[in-house]
Amino acid sequence: TWTTGNVIEEQVAAIREQVGAKRAICGLSGGVDSAVAAALVQKAIGSQLTCVYVDHGLMRKGETEQVEKDFVAATGVSLKVVDAQERFLNALSGVSDPEEKRKIIGREFIRVFEQAQVEIIAEAGAHGDEPVQFLVQGTLYPDVVESGGGTGTANIKSHHNVGGLPEDLEFELIEPLRKLFKDEVRMVGQELGLPEEIVHRQPFPGPGLGIRIVGEVTRERLDLLREADAIAREELTAAGLDREIWQCPVVLLADVRSVGVQGDGRTYGHPIVLRPVSSEDAMTADWTRMPYDVLSKISTRITNEVADVNRVVLDVTSKPPGTIEWE
C-alpha cells in the first residue's frame, strides 16, 4: 500500500545504496520539489549532502529566510548560500524585454551554481573526503512523462527552475521524486517535517520577481513589488483563499504612471496588477472570482503602505488568451 512512510523508507534505502560513501550536491530554489528531494537525500546520507542556494535577489519577502533558516533548522542540512544579488542586478540593468530577462537570469543562475559546485568539489578534495559524484534533482512524475522517461541525464525545460546541468561537470542524478505527483510530494514533505510555507508554496516562476516588473528591474522596484506582494499574500491567506487560488502574481507596471490624489496632494504613481487565477495544471486558467471585500482590503493596504503606488487593478483575463504571468 502507498503511504508516505513507505515512500520515504524505500527512497532512503535506495539513495543509500546508490551513493555509498560518496557525496552529493543539491540546488535549492525555495520551491517544494527541490526542498523535499533535498530533505529525503539528507535523511538518507546526512552530511554527505551539501545544498546550494543562489540568492538572486528576485525572491518574495521572507522566502530566502525560509530556506536559510527554517529549512536548515528542520533538516539539519549543510547549506552554502551564494549572495549574487548585485551580480543579477548588474546583468539585468537596462533590460526590459521579457525573454531577454529570462535568458539573462537563466544564464547567470547556471554560472553561479556551477561556480558553487566547483568550490564544493574542491573543498571536499581539500578535506580528503570521498568524491562529489551525485546531483539531486526534484524531478516529478509529470516531468518524467513529458520528457519521454529517460533517466541519468537532466530533463529540464530550458526556462524552468534549477535546470541546465553544466556539461563539463559530470554527475549521476538522484531523483527521489520521479514516481510522485505534486500532492504526494507535499505529503512526503509534511511527513519529513518541512516548514508549512515551503510545503504549501504556490507555483512561483524561476526568474522570480524579475518577470513581474514590466520594465527594467531595479533594486527600488524589487523592494516596492516585494512589499505589495507580501500584502496581497497576507490578505489572501487571512481570507482562507490559498487553496482556492492556484497562484496570484502581483505585477508592477513600472513604466506606467497615472494621476491620483492622496491627502491634499496630487500623486503620479505606478499601478499594481493583481492576477489571481484558478487552474488545474497552469496550461489553462481562469481568473478567480474572489470576494470584493478582500480585493478592497488589498487595494487599500497597498496604496496606503507602498510608496509610489496609487492604483491597484484586477486582471480579469482567462488563459488563453492571457498567460498567467504578464511576461
Which residues form the interface with ligand XMP (CB under 6 A)? Answer: 102, 159-161, 203, 205-207, 247, 282, 319, 323-325
Alpha-carbon distance values, 245 to 66, 187, 295, 319 (Å): 22, 19, 13, 14
Pick between residue 260 and residue 322 the one whose CB is nearest to ligand XMP: 322
- Longest Cα–Cα distance in the chain: 70
190: amino acid identity, one letter: Q
Residue 323: how many CA atoms within 13 Å on its side-chain side?
Answer: 6
Q: Closest distance between ligand XMP and the C-beta of residue 282, in Å?
A: 4
Pick between residue 58 and residue 199 the one whose CB is nearest to ligand XMP: 58
Pick between residue 286 and residue 325 the one whose CB is nearest to ligand XMP: 325
Look at the alpha carbons of 17, 19, 22, 25 in this order and tell me if their dihedral is positive or negative: negative
Q: Closest distance between ligand XMP and the C-beta of residue 170, in Å?
A: 25
Alpha-carbon distance values, 20 to 14, 15, 40, 117, 262 (Å): 10, 8, 15, 20, 65
Pick between residue 269 and residue 276 the one whose CB is nearest to ligand XMP: 276
Q: Closest distance between ligand XMP and the C-beta of residue 209, in Å?
A: 12
Q: Closest distance between ligand XMP and the C-beta of residue 200, in Å?
A: 15
CA 252 to CA 95: how far, in whole Å?
15
Q: Percentage helix, strand, coil, to 5, in the chain? A: 45, 20, 40
Pick between residue 107 and residue 266 the one whose CB is nearest to ligand XMP: 107
Q: Closest distance between ligand XMP and the C-beta of residue 319, in Å?
A: 5
